[in-house]
């Protein structure tokens, strides 16, 4: 099971994952978070405090970050490089988008 974090636009990030109560509780902690049932995605404001909170709440082992977001967010790139060290193939996969921002909105 993967938690997918993506840049929705300049103001919003999206978080998509299979239902797991712990993850839903975490998603509710983001400032400005809301559930969009039609898209089956959580959205929250794209702020440094929310990015920091994401880094605190989710494990590198079950996280997949959108390529566009990685390209512009140094904190996420650093988090992946520090925490993915020694995880072999999984570390390589973290930088590859499974679902683009556009696909998350569809």
- Length of the chain, in residues: 106
The single residue listed with the structure tokens 């702020």 is: 47
Angle, CA 25 vertex, CA 43 and CA 29 arms, to 5°: 55
Q: Confidence band (pLDDT; 50, 70, 90) for 74? A: confident
Per-residue pLDDT tens digits for 5-50: 999 999 999 999 999 999 999 999 999 999 999 999 999 999 989 9
- 75 is in which domain, residue-wise? 3-105
Domain count of the chain?
Answer: 1
The single residue listed with the structure tokens 């790139």 is: 77
Please tell me the predicted confidence (pLDDT) of residue 50.
93
């Amino acid at each position: 099971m993967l938690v997918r974090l993506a840049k929705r636009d300049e103001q919003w990030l999206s978080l998509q994952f299979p239902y797991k109560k712990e993850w839903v509780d975490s998603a509710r902690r983001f400032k400005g978070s809301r559930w969009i049932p039609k898209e089956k995605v959580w959205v929250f404001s794209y702020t440094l405090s929310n990015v920091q909170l994401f880094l605190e709440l989710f494990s590198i082992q079950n996280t997949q970050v959108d390529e566009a977001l990685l390209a512009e967010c140094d904190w996420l790139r650093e988090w992946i490089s520090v925490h993915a060290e020694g995880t072999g193939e999984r570390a390589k996969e973290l930088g590859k988008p499974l679902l683009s921002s556009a696909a998350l909105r569809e």
